[in-house]
Amino acid sequence: MLPSRFFPGAHNFLINESQFVQDNSTTINNYHPTTPSRCLAPQYEETDFFVGKDIKQKLREELKFVENAGIDDDKICLPDTRREIIKDITKWVQLKDDNTSRTYILCGEAGTGKSAIAHAVGKELQEQQLLVVFFAFNRSLLESRTPSNALRTIAYNLGVGDNDFAEGLFQAFEGDPTISGSTNEPRDRLLSVLMSGKRDVPSNFRVFATSRLENDVIVYVDKFIKRDSSAKVQKMTDIKGTDEDIYRFVVKKMTSQGGGLGILEESQVLPMASTVCKELRGGGKGGLSVQIRFQDFMATAPGSIKTLTPLDKLYMIILEECFDDEAMERYQDVMGLVLSVFEPLSRTSLKRIQIMCPQHQSRNRDGERRDTTIDAVVCFLGSLFAGVDMLDTPVRPVHTSIRDFLLDEGQSGKFAINTSQGHTTLVWGSLHLMIKDLHFNMCNLKSSYVFNSEVRDMKEMIAKGIPLELEYASCFWDEHLSQIEVDKSVVTLLEEFWYRSSLFWLEVLSVLQRIHVVSRAIENVRKFIGSGDKVCKLGVLRRLFLADHNSFKTLLNETQQFVRVFGQAITDSTPHLYLSAIPFIPKESILQQVY
């Protein structure tokens, strides 16, 4: 029989004499995917890795890019607003002068409309048939919207749009297979790349970026201006016509509702106009007309408040209208959950994770089941959070300044949110959810004969077999674990999860193309448990630790090595977790006893 395609040369071989590779060893059993092993299959000819796969698929395999980080039509400027600045940017993009700066920086405070301009510029350039690569950072998506993922996503989209660029990427991958694997690129590295000016960017490239004027950004902007005499740096405060744009915005939002019109005096804060419009159109307090409430909001204009910015004062007024002192326990409980997630979750998913936490299966001091508190809070926040009126739409702040406000006790006072309880709830809820719902063959895959990427309707099968809350729990439970203090009851729960459900967790991660989460999770568990002495003092060494803490550490090490050896194989074809990976676990290992 010819060698198996899934493990080339797997005929008559040994795996390091049935021993796992040690952590400090550089010898790894290399796996090179061609096509999945077909159990009891006939002989096959050797084929090249890339046969039958287009450029997009090859790039997808090499670059773990971020989806849904591109241009959003709902976030572009209203028609006939910001026309001068948009015209200036698009004209700069099309200049063919080699002396023109390759980089344009648009900077300003939170809420000044930078993102809307960026989305509008990207949309307009796309309509002109230019190759546009767009990546939107989002403080509500801290796990995925990182500098490293930005660079990978930009590279992916450039490769998809330009075959020559794709070929250059493949050559780079061949020269250094680890080039796309970095997950910890610092922000200053990205700033350095973006503001390289004319030196390192081809003449037909343009880099347009928006940013708040934070300290590190200011440093790089100053260096950029000094290094490049043609540097393009635009501050939002210097853009003309903002008053007129805000007027158009208010008219657009309010006239169709039959409400009164007004012109905000603040000349910078478009999110303020948006928030006021939404709140005026909402319920508010009884007995107050739209006109009276509008005048209350106008009292927050610059100069009337000494301690808070106009936006912060507006947020404070809205929260005071929605929640009195009796509702603060529910408010803190729910908002801690909403602001602690690394990717926004819907009301349905939030409720499912919350109710899986034992602390929320009881009743609060008013005798109300805690699982009902999600709706009792978020449904009143439609002017501050998107998705609150739909069960299956992610709940997220309509602007990043809202998140900043709620996490700053100095600004939000009694409405400030401490996320520690939210992280604790998410740890308990996620672990209990995985223990309960994870099982063999989550997506009902029919065959080991094909790659995951070749399975028909794979996305639909994932959506049906792995609910969003379970997907989130599988990918982020350990990140929440890293945010809480060590607790013996949590360690006990970790034991139960690892021994009962970790195999099915690996299956889910392989289907989701997130097997890299395993190594990160193991590191976070190690840090959480700490040294053996610390755990002993907590009194949590039980039978499941297999007699001592060192055994559990060995189990973690073996799981990590298992994924290093077989991770790529099971990512390419999930059934081979059971068919090809587990059979080769050394018989004397602790992992063999568990799996």
CA distances from 339 to 271, 325, 342 (A): 19, 20, 8
Out of 121-125, 245-249, 439-443, least confident range: 245-249
* Model confidence at 234: pLDDT above 60: yes
User: Is there a contact between 211 and 112 (Cβ–Cβ < 8 Å)?
Assistant: no
* Model confidence at 34: pLDDT above 50: no
With tokens 């007004």, the residue in question is 262
The residue among 344, 521, 535, 526 whose CA lies nearest residue 431 is 521
303 contact partners, CB below 8 Å, separation of at least 6? none
What pLDDT, on the 0 to 100 scale, is given for residue 344?
93
Return the higher-pLDDT residue of 190 and 168: 168
What pLDDT, on the 0 to 100 scale, is given for residue 154?
85
* Model confidence at 11: pLDDT above 90: no
CA–CA gap between residue 329 and residue 307 (Å, rounded): 26
The encoded tokens of residue 26 equal 């550089």
Q: Which of 101-115, 386-400, 457-471 has the largest mean confidence?
A: 457-471
What pLDDT, on the 0 to 100 scale, is given for residue 340?
95
With tokens 């300290």, the residue in question is 215
**How much is the mean pLDDT over the chain?**
76
Average pLDDT of span 42-48 = 31
User: Is there a contact between 411 and 303 (Cβ–Cβ < 8 Å)?
Assistant: no
Per-residue exposure over 81-99, b if at least 16 CB sit within 10 Å of its own CB, e if not = bbeebbeebbebbeeeeee
* Model confidence at 148: pLDDT above 90: no
Which residue(s) pair with 385 in the sheet?
Answer: 397
User: Is there a contact between 560 and 518 (Cβ–Cβ < 8 Å)?
Assistant: yes
Coil, helix or strand at residue 37: coil
CA–CA gap between residue 58 and residue 516 (Å, rounded): 18
Q: What is the largest CA-CA distance in the chain?
A: 84
User: Is there a contact between 298 and 384 (Cβ–Cβ < 8 Å)?
Assistant: no
Q: Read off the pLDDT of residues 373-417 as tens digits, 9 standing for 90 and up.
A: 898 899 888 888 989 888 999 999 988 889 999 999 988 999 999
* Model confidence at 361: pLDDT above 90: no
The residue among 493, 484, 446 whose CA lies nearest residue 465 is 446
Q: Read off the pLDDT of residues 260-299 as tens digits, 9 standing for 90 and up.
A: 444 333 333 455 566 656 555 555 555 555 555 555 655 5
* Model confidence at 182: pLDDT above 70: no
What pLDDT, on the 0 to 100 scale, is given for residue 291?
56
- Region of residue 531 (phi > 0: left; psi between -120 and 50: alpha; otherwise: beta): beta
* Model confidence at 533: pLDDT above 80: no
Percent of the chain surpassing pLDDT 90: 28
Asked whether the whole model's pTM tops 0.75, one would answer: no
* Model confidence at 459: pLDDT above 80: yes
* Model confidence at 326: pLDDT above 80: yes
Return the higher-pLDDT residue of 405 and 535: 405
Strand 207-211 and strand 103-107: the pairing is: parallel
Residue 259 — pLDDT band, cuts 50, 70, 90? Answer: very low
Out of 34-43, 289-298, 582-591, least confident range: 34-43
User: Is there a contact between 401 and 321 (Cβ–Cβ < 8 Å)?
Assistant: no
The H or E element that residue 106 is part of is strand 103-107
CA distances from 19 to 16, 22, 28, 556 (A): 5, 9, 12, 15
The encoded tokens of residue 15 equal 């795996």
Task: Read off φ and ψ for residue 517, nearest 5 degrees.
Answer: -60, -30
